[in-house]
Copies of this chain bind each other. A is one copy, B any other.
Amino acid sequence: MTDYRRLRVALLGAGAVGSQVAALLRQHADELADRAGARLELVGIAVRDVDAKRDVELPSELFTTDADSLIVGSDIVIELMGGIEPARTYLLHAINSGADVVTANKALLATHGPEIFDAADQVGAEVYYEAAAAGAIPIIRPLRDSLAGDRVQRIMGIVNGTTNYILDRMDTEGAEFSQVLADAQRLGYAEADPTADVEGYDAAQKAAILASLAFHTTVPLEAVHREGISSIDSSMMDAARHAGYVIKLLAVCERLTEESGESISVRVYPALIDRAHPLASVHGANNAVFVQAEAAGNLMFYGAGAGGVQTASAVLGDVVSAARRHIAGGVGVGESTLANLPIVPVGRVTTSYQITLEVDDQPGVLATVAGILSEGRVSIATVEQTVVESGDGTGGVARLVIGTHKALEQDLSETVDRLAASGVVERVVSVLRVEGN
């Protein structure tokens, strides 16, 4: 066995991911040493309660509640506590103590990324966070390194496994949201409080991280437009299927070219996507990130977006990278935010839409609807009218499903308001964006 230099590795947090990281660090110690060119010595695990039950068995002497003492003198600090504090304070402490840091903390990076990256820059340390954006899927290195000589035009990501699981089952089984959610909770795919997942907060954090990296721009979480999937019902799923689409919760990061120059849009919402699109075949709790770049064309990265051992794989990849850098010497590369493109509100985004309306089933209604759309600069691509409640030509209700050409979200949204107030529209059933076309 090669006589490697030892690097001291401190772990903060021993939850689902942390305990797997600790176990793999020990189990694969020899192989990891060969990969890293250094022996990765797990010197301790900081937790709130040293006696808590863990997913895997670990020597009790590794555990401590004193994170600060553990951090001092460590070469690599792995932060897997989650949440903002005390994770933020510990990470900054680690950086300022001369450690390279590895984190999977999307909430922290999406809210305090610049502070952490600046601190690392000042001391020449490096921050690794492959596990923060799409679990086990390598997406950070491809964006940061492989595509560094290219220009990313758009990212469309299925970055939340819970919502993809729910939407996929709604699509394949015709089940309702609440029913599948309850199932997902029972099976451990969704939390008891599912808000962070189903309302798109988790996806928005990941979108902020991906967009920051892809567009070399600091994207604050507040700049991410966010909508969840709790309003999606089986009739919307049916209508999507009928039109050749599937509904996915997408994180869309897009470069816009306007007369005044380039800007970006970052948004999370349920959107229709063509069934032939590679993202449409991402089933269950899997994640995928579809990237369109100027030179590289279309790329897709697919895999497990969550899970303790899966995410641990990404964390360990980062640990090996950090160790290699320690051995090789040199300073950290740092995050590039030199482009700093302006971030536009969702109103300035252009997509196409599928608008579903219930209208009075009487002569002239379609003409009225078409007129309002046209006035609002929303051009109709397809229209399908079906009778919901027959009234023999008067008093009945018809359903109009309108597919639009690309329109400005601002125009679309104002137009939908005017439709709702027009007197002929009984109900705006749904308005969904179409992405990927």
Contacts and interface: CB of A to CB of B under 8 A. Distances in A.
Contacts of A309: 295
A103 to B, nearest CB: 15
B330 A299 contact: no
A313 B20 contact: no
A316 interface: yes
Contacts of A151: 28, 31
A108 B328 CA distance: 26
A299 B302 contact: yes
B313 A293 contact: yes
Each complex incorporates copies of this chain amounting to 2
A188 interface: no
A385 to B, nearest CB: 34
A149 B301 contact: no
Q: Classify the secondary structure of A's interface with B.
A: mixed
A37 B333 contact: yes
A145 B323 CA distance: 11
Contacts of A319: 149
A354 B314 CA distance: 37
A339 B141 contact: no
A304 B294 CA distance: 12
Given A138-B141, A304-B298, A328-B330, A338 B281 contact: no
A234 interface: no
Interface residues of A, number: 62
A310 B325 contact: no
Contact of A138 (B299, B324, B325, B331): B299
Contacts of A303: 296-300
Interface string A49-85: 0000000000000000000000000000000000000
Contacts of A136: 295-297, 299
Interface in A243-291: 278, 281
A34 B336 contact: yes
Contacts of A192: none
Contacts of A167: none
Given A303-B298, A304-B297, A330-B330, A321 B148 contact: yes
A330 B325 contact: yes
A94 interface: no
A345 interface: no
A241 interface: no
A155 interface: no
A63 B321 CA distance: 38
Contacts of A331: 328-329
Q: Determine which residue in A37, A138, A278, A298 has the highest number of CB atoms from chain B within 10 A of its CB, and name it.
A: A138
Interface string A307-323: 10110111111111100
Contacts of A28: 149, 151
A118 interface: no
Contact of A332 (B20, B145, B328, B333): B328
Contacts of A344: none
Interface string A185-216: 00000000000000000000000000000001
A2 B329 CA distance: 25
A314 B149 CA distance: 8
B34 A145 contact: no
A313 B149 contact: yes
A147 interface: yes
A321 B336 CA distance: 13
A389 to B, nearest CB: 40
A147 B325 CA distance: 16
B281 A295 contact: no
The residue among A142, A295, A301, A339 with the most chain B CB atoms within 10 A of its own CB is A295
A128 to B, nearest CB: 10
A313 to B, nearest CB: 4
A35 interface: yes
A281 B280 CA distance: 11
11 contacts: A24-B295, A34-B216, A34-B336, A37-B333, A141-B146, A148-B317, A150-B317, A293-B313, A297-B304, A300-B303, A325-B330
Which 3 A-B residue pairs are closest in the complex by CB-CB distance? A149-B316, A330-B330, A138-B146
